[in-house]
Amino acid sequence: ETEPPERTLSLEETEPSMRENPRRPCLINADCRIQGNSFRSYILDISIGGVFIETGERVPVGETILLNFTLPAFSHPVTLPGKIAWSGPQGFGVKFEVLPPPEGRAIKDYVDKER
């Protein structure tokens, strides 16, 4: 006799509990630098903890990345270091390593504005 398959949770069911910080969908140009290679892509969602970058580039999990982007209504470009938290066919997740207070406030204000 076979066991019934275990029920798996959909992303919608797991996402709020998995995320430490609220995220905001967006479309922001980003310059990415990994292992000396630079490419331009888009941030598709953002939180004070990190971002999702849309790209066909395959990047190794755990690799350091330097992101440069400009938030709407923020006066200057933001340059932040991060680590690749996960990588998939549509893009990868970045966890910010250092978030200086001005950038942290700007990201929090941007995320909170749409909530």
pLDDT digits (tens, 9 = 90+) for 67-82: 999 998 788 899 999 9
Our count of domains for the chain comes to 1
- Identify the domain containing residue 47 by its residue range: 22-113
pLDDT digits (tens, 9 = 90+) for 8-38: 444 444 444 455 789 999 999 999 999 999 9
DSSP conformation letters of 76-107 = S-EEEEEEEEEEETTEEEEEES---HHHHHHH
pLDDT digits (tens, 9 = 90+) for 40-75: 999 999 999 999 999 988 899 999 999 999 998 788
Q: Is 5's pLDDT higher than 60?
A: no
CA distance 113 to 115: 6
pLDDT at 3: 59
Query: Does any domain span residue 15?
Result: no
Query: Does any domain span residue 13?
Result: no
Query: Does any domain span residue 6?
Result: no
Its pTM stands at 0.80
